[in-house]
Amino acid sequence: MLQPLDMNSEVFKAELEKTERFADKVCESRGWVLGPNADVNEGVIMGLARHKLLYGKRFCPCYMVEEDQDRPGHFKSSDDRICPCKPAIEKEIPEEGICHCQIYCTPEYFEAHKK
């Protein structure tokens, strides 16, 4: 069983900062921007940081994470969605302009949907 995670702890706050930098680097390397909804971005970044601390990987927070039955102590998510996930890179962003979690999008999508 996983240990509870204190989201006010220094450990979580440090991981949250690392995850914010990670998201910025993903955008920079792919020519994307963060999605137009700042509240969604904050929630997804918190979820990514939480998953990194709990499971050792930044699994997309929009999908369930389970223990791998073939490898106890290891975890996996639906479609192995580790951020930035293959469906976002190959299908969602090229076709829709934004990923399922709505954290990454094209600059064109952002301009068309900003508040």
Q: Is residue 4 in some structural domain?
A: no
**Mean confidence (pLDDT) of the chain:** 91
Q: What is the mean pLDDT of residues 59-65?
A: 87
Q: Is residue 49 in some structural domain?
A: yes
Half-sphere exposure of 12 (CA within 13 A, CB side): 13
Domain span at 39: 10-113
Question: How many structural domains is the chain composed of?
Answer: 1
Q: How far apart are CA 19 and CA 95, in angstroms?
A: 26
Q: Is residue 5 in some structural domain?
A: no
Q: Return the structure tokens found at 88.
A: 């976002």
Q: What is the CATH number of the domain that holds 16?
A: 3.90.460.10
Residue 43 pLDDT grade (very low, low, confident, very high; cuts 50, 70, 90): very high
Structure confidence at residue 2 (pLDDT): 58
Q: Is the pLDDT higher at 115 or at 13?
A: 13
Q: What is the mean pLDDT of residues 39-60?
A: 94
State the pTM of this model: 0.89
The phi and psi torsions of 75 (rounded to 5 degrees) equal: -125, 160
Q: Is residue 1 in some structural domain?
A: no
68-86 pLDDT per residue, tens: 778 877 787 767 789 999 9
Q: Is residue 34 in some structural domain?
A: yes
Q: How far apart are CA 71 and CA 85, in angstroms?
A: 22
